[in-house]
Amino acid sequence: MFKYTKYTLFHMLTIPFGIGVTLGGDWMYAGLVFAVGFVVVGDLLMGDDTSEPEYEAPWLLNLQLYSSLLLIVVMNFLMVWSVADADVLGYGALVQQFTGFDALAAREANSWPQYAAAILGCGLLTSVVGTIVGHELTHRTWDPMAMFIGRWLLAFSWDTGFSIEHVYGHHIYVGSTDDPATAPRGRNVYYHILASTWKGNISAWNLEKKRLKKKRLPVFSHHNLYIRGLLMSLALEVAAFVMAGWVGVAVFTATALIAKAFLEIVNFMEHYGMVRNVKTPVQPYHSWNTNKRISSWATFNLTRHSHHHAQGDVPFQKLRPYQDAPMMVNGYLTTIFLTLIPPLWNAIMVPKVLDWDRRFASAEELKLAMQANKRSGIKAFMEQDYSDLIRQKQALNTTSSNRTVQAA
């Protein structure tokens, strides 16, 4: 049974947040501190999960995915309730009735540093409960229920366009200069958040416009999934305004933008420095992978990114660990923290990317890598010359092709 219940970890990560916001005061730090501490320390101490169990009851896994919508509604309700003047839906009175604790009085005593920690924690958890699960569900383009829930989960980070661009753009162009989500060598994560968000939304709009024109449907209409997605997020903003006025709108918007930023940081680290000719198939080595146990359980195996990109329609429980794929530094949150310090990120990742060139890149990709190195602005990249390595790999490919012909 544990093979099913281990994925409830992401549900449990929301409990300290909910309790902390309700109790107020320094408890407002609980959601952020617990989530970060548990995942980072757990990844460092508990090693890898490379198991590949069979699941006889996949509906139990789907139930966990679908329940995310309730979780994210409750989580964001509590966050906005904490800054409201009124006791929205009588939540504070309900807490006092059942526990005797005066949640409304505690709320009045909260400070803005405490609110800031709670907002950051809510943004982080929204990226887990909303974005990661929304990512999984919106890959199931054949399932209306999965798409409905997945897009609403993404609406909490103003990112329903992700369900368009990611599936029909990123998975086709990953590793190339045509992919907004692939960070080129030398880019820092802060610029990537802005660039990938902007270009990703433009790509989503263009992809949807192309789809509608192909079906001879008007672009500015209810048929447009991109526009409908914006309206979904706007509806959530209206709900925040009804609950807590403009302060509620500001808090909801802040958590949404933080969640979106976390997504783009993850994009940054999953494909940093990769190169690929878009005319060639995506291979497992075109993604940075990790099998860290806690990260894998908390993200529904998003960590098994190499297999995910090699076969994007495979459900999370069937993703394989691909232990020979290029590996991240550690688990997801640890790697996220490293990206936030560009000099440290470069010190660790430049050697890893250069190793990727030597071990994984084809002769054609080495030519692309040399171009990327020159544009990087980083000396260790720019001084690389792969001419000899390109000839070696070309000769190896020729020998392999000749053997294939002779065998035939």
Integer Cα distance of 210 and 224 in angstroms: 11
183: nearest Cα among 1, 346, 15: 346
In order of 36, 90, 274, 329, 342, the CA distances from 190 in angstroms are 20, 40, 18, 19, 9
The pLDDT score that the predictor gives to residue 408 is 47
- Let me know: does 75 contact 125? Beta carbons within 8 Å: yes
Per-domain residue ranges for the chain?
Answer: 2-340
- What predicted TM-score, i.e. pTM, was given to this entire model? 0.95
Integer Cα distance of 360 and 383 in angstroms: 19
Output the six-digit token pair for 143.
Answer: 């399932």
> In tens digits, what is the pLDDT along the chain, a chain of 408 residues?
889 999 998 789 999 999 999 999 999 999 999 999 999 999 999 999 999 999 999 999 999 999 999 999 999 999 999 999 999 999 999 999 999 999 999 999 999 999 999 999 999 999 999 999 999 999 999 999 999 999 999 999 999 999 999 999 999 999 999 999 999 999 999 999 999 999 999 999 999 999 999 999 999 999 999 999 999 999 999 999 999 999 999 999 999 999 999 999 999 999 999 999 999 999 999 999 999 999 999 999 999 999 999 999 999 999 999 999 999 999 999 999 999 999 999 999 999 999 999 999 999 999 999 999 999 999 999 999 999 999 999 988 776 554 443 444
Integer Cα distance of 402 and 380 in angstroms: 36
Integer Cα distance of 249 and 245 in angstroms: 7
The pLDDT score that the predictor gives to residue 404 is 45
- Let me know: does 5 contact 55? Beta carbons within 8 Å: no
Tally of CB atoms within 10 A around 228: 15
The pLDDT score that the predictor gives to residue 399 is 62
The pLDDT score that the predictor gives to residue 400 is 58
- Let me know: does 202 contact 195? Beta carbons within 8 Å: no
The pLDDT score that the predictor gives to residue 397 is 77
291: nearest Cα among 255, 328, 260: 328
Output the six-digit token pair for 322.
Answer: 């691909």
Residues present in the chain in total: 408
292 strand-pairing partners? 48
CB-neighbour burial class of residue 149 (10 A; exposed 0-12, middle 13-18, buried 19+): buried
346 strand-pairing partners? none
